[in-house]
Structure 1
Amino acid sequence: MDKWKYYDITHKHHVLCNPMSEEKFERFCQLLNLSKDARILDIACGKGEVLVRLAEKYGMSGVGVDISPFFINDCKKKHLERVPESDLIFIELDGAKYRPESGALFDVAMCLGASWIFEDHVGTLKALKQMTKPGGLVIIGEPFWLREPDIEYLKALKMTRDSFRLHKENVYQGEELGLTCLYTLVSNKDDWDHYETLQWWAVDKYIQSHSDDPDNQEILEKTKTAKDIYLKWGRDTISWGIYIFRNP
């Protein structure tokens, strides 16, 4: 089964493809207080809600990059339906391969929840920093450990303890690169439950309406595995935060 088809199915009903409530997302958008001439880059933009919502509020321009053809189609549709006059460009591409046109830097460069694109947290901060104007904002969404992860949990995720860090380490690693952390926004269990369990709901809806899809058994098995991992370990072990840094 195509990986991006699976993510499209599991995230069909998500406005945001990350564990963040509407209230926190609105707070995030208000906090940025962008000027109309600001240029924003969103690597791994998902379904484009961040750029579209910011364009609704501020009328700025932006570039969204995502490798999923399903999500990019959602982005373009959302753009036309909600802010057709806004200068937004959505590109289907591996985010690691994106280069700003003519080397132009952005006022804000972000990657929310996909640091694997640039190998890890530090790699992502470095990449975003290079595409951000002096004095601009570098924004990253990144998991962090709430407690030491069980060995069985790490094996199930095919990860190591060093795949993520503590909340404070996510801050310090950015500041070691010369960035200044200005604000953090952290998910709680309700945010996580909504993000995770809405996927269960979406899969059930899909199976009911696509009973002849030959991928259904694999979809159900993958979802069951993810559900068990979340309930057994993830819910009490990992969280997620948005980190806003100032580029010097």
Structure 2
Amino acid sequence: MKKTSTTLKERAAMATSVSAQNPFKYTTIAHSGHHYCSPLSAGIAATLLAALQLQAGSLVLDAGCGKAGLLRDLLASQPVCGVGVDINPAFLAEAANAWDASNPGDGRLTLIASQLEQHPLPAGGYDAILCVGSTHALGGFEPSLALCRQWLKPGGVLLVGEGYWKRPPSNEYLLTLGATEDELSSHAENIARALAQGFKLRLAMASSDEEWDRYEHMYCQAVMQYAASHPHDPDTVAFGERARRWYQNYLAFGRSTLGFGHYLLEKPRISRA
């Protein structure tokens, strides 16, 4: 399995950006209306967070948190503390503002601008880790599983979100993504790879077509709205064309080909080194 440093979507998006000074510009615009930067609905998110079964005071890492939407939801619903780590300053600023506005004076959320592997780890490890749509930040699915397992306390849980092929991708779709078929596997193989890393499977769910449709529609619309309202931005033409092409290929190929799985995994209390 190839290691990837960016998601398939981000890789294709960055290739169109002429804004060398802000490599996060396109993805920040495209996700401007999203609470979660992945195909996830509020209802399914609530189900996944409840399944974590955390104790009061648990410490949770959101690895590659983006806007930390899932982490903020967790802290709002459970008496736990959270650490969100990301390298996009715009996403972190939005997360901080949203949390402070809804929870003034609540210091349970810490946001850190850092590469994941360079952020300060707690001495005792984490009780839970969220890594949804961000395994690329740790070198890919299997490397992220291995590292998160090291960072978890015995009995800790990992909620990881990862893409998979619903069916073998066409060459045309792979060309659009700038990807190769071996960069993803199947939903079942994702689970098998997690088990091979020594985790126990608590729950596995896949994003629905409706969740994908909403995510991709909002993604495209946000870019098109930005382009219409910023006609003098030198990135506007490239960004608008990229968004149109991406959405066309989503409808033609991606909707039936690319899946997204959520895997809730437990590190055994007595586990291998």
Indicate the TM-score class for this superposition, using the shorter chain for normalisation: over 0.9
- Which of 45, 58, 65 lines up with 1:25 in the alignment? 45
What is aligned with 2:91?
A: 71
CA distance in 2, matches of 1:151, 1:16: 30
Gaps of 5+ in 1: none
**Which amino acid in the other structure matches residue 42 of structure 2?**
E
Say if 2:71 and 2:84, in contact at 8 Å, map to a contact too: yes
- Map 1:54-65 onto structure 2 (within 5 A): 54-65=74-85
Post-superposition CA distance 1:19-54 (Å, at most 9, x none)? 011211121122223222100001111111111111
Match of 1:240, SS state, is strand
Post-superposition CA distance 1:43-89 (Å, at most 9, x none)? 11111111111111112111101111110111111221122314211
Match of 1:200, SS state, is helix
CA distance in 1, matches of 2:150, 2:210: 35
What is aligned with 2:129?
A: 109
TM-score, L = length of structure 1:
0.95
Q: Count residues with an aligned counterpart.
A: 247
Change (3 A) 1:20 1:202: same
What is aligned with 1:90?
A: 111
Task: Quote the offset at 1:228 in angstroms.
Answer: 2.6
Post-superposition CA distance 1:159-195 (Å, at most 9, x none)? 1111111111111111111110110121011111111
Task: Quote the offset at 1:225 in angstroms.
Answer: 2.5
Q: Which moved more, 1:79-88 or 1:189-198?
A: 79-88
- Map 1:33-182 onto structure 2 (within 5 A): 33-84=53-104, 85-101=106-122, 103-182=123-202
Task: Quote the offset at 1:90 in angstroms.
Answer: 0.5
Match of 1:46, SS state, is coil
Task: Say yes or no: does 1:231 pair with 2:243.
Answer: no
Task: Quote the offset at 1:121 in angstroms.
Answer: 1.0
TM-score, L = length of structure 2:
0.86
List, as ranges, runs of 4+ consecutive aligned residues in structure 1 with deviation greater than 3 Å: none
Say if 1:110 and 1:128, in contact at 8 Å, map to a contact too: no
Say if 1:36 and 1:58, in contact at 8 Å, map to a contact too: yes
Post-superposition CA distance 1:71-129 (Å, at most 9, x none)? 0111111221122314211111222333414x330000121012111222111101111
Say if 1:59 and 1:86, in contact at 8 Å, map to a contact too: no
Gaps of 5+ in 2: 1-18, 269-273
Say if 2:112 and 2:119, in contact at 8 Å, map to a contact too: no
